[in-house]
Amino acid sequence: MGLTEQGREKGFQTMKAKLANDPAARVRRVLASGSPARIVTREMPVIEAVGRLVEAVEKGRTLMADEGLNRDDITAGLVHSTIETGEFGCKWLPVASGQIGEYVTDFERMAARGTLLFLGILWKQARSDGGASLWVKPLMGGDAAKQQLQATMNVAAAQMGFKN
């Protein structure tokens, strides 16, 4: 049984009311539900993955500034997995642009040790109420990638003191 037209409209109006007074939520909405991520089913070169991340973060920071918020209150990292070892995690994009070369080099070292897959982008944004929000945008399709993305987000949330 699906939603009725009246139910959809009520939900839309509720969402609209919540977003009206929360600029951080408006930014999250655009980034989380904006244009679909370009999902891949192949290995992605390090430079392509980092390029996608930098592009996404710059968009997020621009949206924050456009809403009158601090550009530095949003950041993201690449969720990655190495097939041979089963290891996975998230490497946060450095704030200083001068550190991007080292960021790329770290991933190139990982890729030299095994098949490195970039599963998605994990976002962290300071909220207007003083809390923070985490969400993930997939880069790679498949059930295994989805499970590892969720596991990485859970680990990041626990490390940052988020409660379920």
Q: How many CB atoms lie within 10 A of CB 31?
A: 22
Provide mean pLDDT across the span 10-27: 74
Greater confidence (74 vs 150) lies with 74
Q: Which of 37-41, 101-105, 124-128 has the lowest mean pLDDT?
A: 37-41
Task: Find out whether 77 and 93 touch, Cβ atoms under 8 Å.
Answer: yes
Distance, in Å, from the CA atom of 60 to the CA atom of 80, rounded to the nearest integer, reads 21
Q: What is the pLDDT of residues 56-101, one digit of tens each?
A: 999 999 999 999 999 999 999 999 988 888 788 899 999 877 888 9
Task: Find out whether 28 and 76 touch, Cβ atoms under 8 Å.
Answer: no
C-alpha 3: how far from chain center: 29
HEC secondary structure over 40-109: ECCCCCHHHHHHHHHHHHHHHHHHHHHCCCCHHHEEEEEEEEECCCCCEEEEECCCCHHHHHHHHHHHHH
Strand arrangement, sheet containing 88-92: 88-92, 74-82, 116-126, 132-138
Residue 52 is predicted with a pLDDT of: 92
Distance, in Å, from the CA atom of 143 to the CA atom of 145, rounded to the nearest integer, reads 5
The rounded percent of the chain whose pLDDT value lies above 70 is 87
Tell me the backbone φ, ψ of residue 137, rounded to 5 degrees: -120, 115
Strand partners for 120 = 79, 138
- E strand or H helix that includes residue 125: strand 116-126
Q: What is the pLDDT of residues 115-144, one digit of tens each?
A: 899 999 999 998 878 888 888 888 888 887
Provide mean pLDDT across the span 46-64: 94
